[in-house]
Amino acid sequence: MFQEQKMSVHRRFYTALALHDLVNEIPLPVVARKFGCSRGMLQSLQQSASTFAGDYYFSFDNETNQFETFRVLLVKMLPC
């Protein structure tokens, strides 16, 4: 079981690295080649992350300015 947990952590980190490249506007084909996955999978991952982040952010009180850093990230990720 411990090995499965470690692999899960590594997969999430690897996914976060791919998302990091996408947020930094590295072209999709370059990221796909770098991480050895299809462009469609990356587009799906990006959409899922964007939806999750948007739902997460908007569930908090916007008046607190507590999540200003998070807002900056969302501006880059959410569709216009």
Q: Which tens digit of pLDDT belongs to each residue from 9-48?
A: 999 999 999 999 998 999 999 999 999 999 999 999 999 9
Angle between helix 2-23 and helix 68-77 axes, rounded to 10 deg: 70
Report whether pLDDT(66) > 70: no
Please tell me whether residue 47 adopts helix, strand or coil conformation.
helix
Among 38, 5, 68, which Cα is nearest to 18's? Answer: 38
Among 7, 21, 15, which Cα is nearest to 49's? Answer: 15
